[in-house]
Amino acid sequence: MAVIALHCPQHTVTVFDINKKKVAEWNSDQLPIYEPGLLEVVQQARGRNLFFTASDIDRHIAESEIIFVSVNTPTKTFGQGAGRTADLQYWEKTARMILEHSSSDKIIIEKSTLPVRTAQAMENILNTNAKGLHFEVLSNPEFLAEGSAIQDLENPDRVLIGGHDTPGGKKAVQTIVDLYANWVPRERIITTNLWSSELSKLVANAFLAQRISSINAISALCEKTGADVEEVAYAIGMDSRIGPRFLKASVGFGGSCFKKDILNLVYLCESQGLPEAAAYWEQVIRMNEYQEARFVANMVSAMFNTLAGKRIAVYGAAFKANTSDTRESPALAVCRGLLAEKAELVLCDPHALENARLDLGDDARLVTFEINPYIAAEGAHAIAVLTEWEDFTRLDYKRIFDSMVNPSFIFDGRNILDRAKLFEMGFNVFSIGKEPLLHFNQHPTE
């Protein structure tokens, strides 16, 4: 919404949230999320045509012509479809609230990621009204990635708008096309029917996650065969049909979307009587869980089959670099695995420690949170690099090595460190998808 406001000074954008604390943060220079470039965009538009508020929802609804609904749609934790399908209660409550306070026709936009045909349900709720109002529901899924959100919004690969093939539907779609055309080239704004748009969002995330699970499956094989996963990724990525992006082997994918959206897709397939298609996509998640568990298992076997009482510095809590978000972070999954082995954890991250503490729940009391990576590694037996923050590549690892217990181990779950140099310094180095570099005579896992 901030980027829309920035590029469309002729429109007034009001962002409403029920969380007063968050709204206050949006109105300050301490935004509630860490996202490079976002503050600058907010500062340019805020107070001009961008407003954040937690009050007067009735008036804001009544005055608006277009409403983007971006409420959360987490995985359902109860009842039918628990653990799989999306929990739509917030979406439905919002639809009812819109209906209650509306006195004119409106375009309602699904910005949240939703199961296919949700728009139908929303239309049924909205258009069954005694006021004679008409609501045109469109789907406009968001494809930005955290950490590069502003870049992705400024210069999107595509903007997708789905609507009905009716005169009212077409008119509403055109209104939203014109909105984005204020800064996005027309040829990158694509329009489809509603269901294609809803499904494309789930499928885009499923395909991206599938690429990561595919390369991670290969990373396991590389570690056994002496092949190097980065070389393999480079070699296959040169094939223009495959392409080079999203082929970085890692400790696993995280974030609030991939797992949730795939589970949603799996549920959709199952509920449409397509168990084979469901099982196919479910395997993408299973492979991700395997990769996280495999990382912990490798650490245990490398460190003489016990981690009990050993201090381990964990570099990275965020699910990826340049974000403070720790939702579904593989780093925290690995932390839980290490805690189960009774390791003593020192967790270090430049921006995500506060969220990590919340997400770890009860386990947080077993973890030391340390912003300084040098202090985190003091007296440690091992370092596990779990988020690809650039800060971790610039550290003085010789200094770190000298402060650690011998033999020292480093497990690079993101392949961001210079492994040959680390080995030379004296570290035993384990990198995802590569043969370990050891100062022992024998591979400790054999």
Catalytic residue numbers read 257
Query: Are the CB atoms for 428 and 410 separated by under 8 Å?
Result: yes
Q: By CB under 6 A, name the one of 118, 139, 191, 205 that touches ligand UGA.
A: 205
Q: To the nearest 10°, the Cα dihedral for 151, 154, 158, 163? A: 130
The strands making up 135-139's β-sheet, listed across from edge to edge, are 66-69, 106-110, 135-139, 159-162, 189-192
Interaction between residue 143 and ligand UGA (CB under 6 A): yes
Of 317, 376, 387, 316, the closest CA to residue 344 belongs to 376
User: Judged by CB under 6 A, which stretch of 248-256, 267-275, 336-344, 364-372 contacts ligand UGA?
Assistant: 248-256
Q: By CB under 6 A, name the one of 81, 156, 163, 254 that touches ligand UGA.
A: 254
Q: Please, which of residues 332-391 interact with ligand UGA by CB under 6 A?
A: none
Residue 407: asked if its preceding bond is cis (omega within 30°), the reply is yes
Q: Please, which of residues 271-330 interact with ligand UGA by CB under 6 A?
A: 319-320
User: Judged by CB under 6 A, which stretch of 34-42, 241-249, 341-349, 371-379 contacts ligand UGA?
Assistant: 241-249
The tokens of 401 are what? 């090595």
Backbone angles phi, psi at 186, to 5 degrees: -55, -40
Q: By CB under 6 A, name the one of 45, 109, 199, 208 that touches ligand UGA.
A: 208
Closer to ligand UGA by CB, 151 or 272: give it: 151
Closer to ligand UGA by CB, 15 or 208: give it: 208
Q: By CB under 6 A, name the one of 142, 228, 230, 282 that touches ligand UGA.
A: 142
Q: By CB under 6 A, name the one of 94, 250, 298, 415 that touches ligand UGA.
A: 250
Interaction between residue 145 and ligand UGA (CB under 6 A): yes
Interaction between residue 144 and ligand UGA (CB under 6 A): yes
* Letter string b/e over residues 355-374, b meaning 16 or more CB atoms within 10 A of that residue's CB: bbbebbeeeeeebebbeebe
Interaction between residue 146 and ligand UGA (CB under 6 A): yes
User: Judged by CB under 6 A, which stretch of 31-39, 63-71, 245-253, 397-405 contacts ligand UGA?
Assistant: 245-253
Interaction between residue 212 and ligand UGA (CB under 6 A): yes
The tokens of 183 are what? 């800064």
Cα end-to-end distance, the chain, whole Å: 55
Query: Are the CB atoms for 392 and 417 separated by under 8 Å?
Result: yes
Residue holding tokens 């007296």?
379
Closest distance of CB 142 from ligand UGA, Å: 5
Of 418, 436, 441, 438, the closest CA to residue 298 belongs to 436
Closest distance of CB 257 from ligand UGA, Å: 3
Give me the residues that bind ligand UGA (CB under 6 A), please. 113, 142-146, 205, 208, 212, 246-248, 250, 253-255, 257-258, 319-320
